[in-house]
Amino acid sequence: MQAQRRRSVMAPLLLAAVVMFAWGMASVVLSVGPHASSAAPTGEKEQAILPSAAQASLTALLHQGAGIPHGKDPGANIPQGKAGPTLEYSYNWAGYVDVAKSVGETYEVTANWYVPKIVSCGESSGTAVEVQWIGIDGWNNGNVSQVGTMSYCSGPGATPAYYDWWEFYPYNDIQTVAHSSAGAYVSAYVLYNPGEEVNGHAGVYTLELYDVDNSVNFVETGGAWVCETSSGHHVCEGGPDAGAECISEAPSGFGHAGYVPLAQYKTTTFDGCATTIGSHFAGIGNQASVGTVYKVDQCNYTACTRILQATGGLSTYFYTDSKFTMTWKAYD
């Protein structure tokens, strides 16, 4: 049932473009952060074109994953929210989050965006990064199934680099798939199908990303089966399928208090960000009947006294309350 719903969401967007994409087979693993991979999910079809030199420059840089809420009291220097979605502040996320009233009923998130162009690589501490992605889970829990793009500065004065990637956190490291480019049009989709089984374990996550301008198209699947030991002992699960989000992030890794400085862009917009909670498919801001909608601004880690990324209001794109823009404010 969910696959049929996804087809109706994505087909009007990229049907003509998808049939022209070439498919590759290998993937490139980006080893990140302090966590270790249990077993990488099996890729169905993907394109991997990153050279080893580019891969080496990113090794051990980023640690994707859970959003870290700070709460609704960021300090006197930041205004509080108005009526509408619940306003929250995070040390690493900006965007919108849907949290389902019933855990286990978040099935889908989809969105489109243009890869943010870095204005300049000017952060004095060196590396700066912005990652834009959609995913299921990660808000107040430790699992995220996510797919997105990366805008990356290796140091002051460097030429910005752009990538497509996916991750099932914390069960594998970031998987960089291909080079992208500033302004490239991307359409992405994450689905959880609780009724599908692999190796006797129910629950399959599917990640898809279409980078139209760079002819990149990949599909990845994951679930509980990838976390089994050789003896067949079941050691991890997906889920809890408690929420979905469309996010711009300054990921953790190194840097100030463990956070990579936020690469400087101007604005970036999610078009058609929509989720399925239970049987209700709607724009991410139009899910109050089945969950709680959070509007999230990113603030500085040390004291949350200033905004690094400000999230704008919701408007209608394909669906009611499915479009919003985020604005860069500061590195850290």
Between 173 and 315, the higher pLDDT residue: 315
| Mean pLDDT estimate for the chain | 76
Instruction: Name the band, by pLDDT with cuts 50, 70 and 90, for residue 291.
Output: very high
| Six token digits for residue 188 | 């992405």
- Nearest 5°: CA angle at 273, between 272 and 276? 115
The total of structural domains in the chain comes to 1
pTM as predicted: 0.78
- Nearest 5°: CA angle at 148, between 146 and 152? 125
Q: What share of the chain is helix, strand, coil (3-state, %, to 5)?
A: 10, 45, 45
Asked if residue 294 has pLDDT above 60, the reply is yes
* Residues 6 or more apart whose Cβ sits within 8 Å of residue 128: 118, 121, 152, 153, 260, 261, 262, 263, 264, 331
Main-chain phi, psi angles of 48, to 5 degrees: -125, 115
CA distances from 231 to 197, 201, 235, 247 (A): 19, 15, 11, 38
State which of 45-49, 121-125, 253-257 shows the largest mean pLDDT: 121-125
Instruction: Name the band, by pLDDT with cuts 50, 70 and 90, for residue 81.
Output: very low
Q: What local confidence, expressed as pLDDT, does residue 257 receive?
A: 55
Report the CATH number that the domain containing residue 87 is assigned in CATH. 2.60.120.700
What domain range is 224 assigned to? Answer: 2-328
Question: pLDDT digit string (tens) for 231-286?
Answer: 554 446 678 899 999 999 988 765 555 678 899 999 999 999 999 999 999 999 99
Asked if residue 188 has pLDDT above 50, the reply is yes
State which of 111-120, 168-177, 231-240 shows the largest mean pLDDT: 111-120
- Determine the number of helices (DSSP H) and then strands (DSSP E) in the chain: 2, 21
> Using an 8 Å Cβ cutoff, are 191 and 2 in contact?
yes
Asked if residue 42 has pLDDT above 80, the reply is no
Asked if residue 321 has pLDDT above 90, the reply is yes
Q: Please tell me the least confidently modeled range out of 22-26, 55-59, 284-288.
A: 22-26
b/e code 123-132 from CB counts within 10 Å (16+ = b): beeebbbbbb
Q: What long-range pairs does 326-329 form, CB within 8 A, spacing at least 24?
A: 326/94, 326/95, 326/248, 326/267, 326/268, 326/269, 327/266, 327/267, 328/119, 328/130, 328/262, 328/264, 328/265, 328/266, 328/267
Largest CA-CA distance found in the chain, in angstroms, rounded:
55
Q: Which residue has the tokens 């590396």?
A: 127
What's the mean pLDDT in 109-128?
88
Mapped onto helix, strand or coil, the DSSP state of residue 4 is: helix
> Using an 8 Å Cβ cutoff, are 183 and 117 in contact?
yes
What's the mean pLDDT in 283-309?
92
Asked if residue 121 has pLDDT above 80, the reply is yes
What's the mean pLDDT in 141-158?
90
Residue 151, number of CB atoms within 10 A of its CB: 25
d(CA 29, CA 173): 7
Q: What local confidence, expressed as pLDDT, does residue 32 receive?
A: 25
> Using an 8 Å Cβ cutoff, are 319 and 246 in contact?
no
Instruction: Name the band, by pLDDT with cuts 50, 70 and 90, for residue 126.
Output: confident
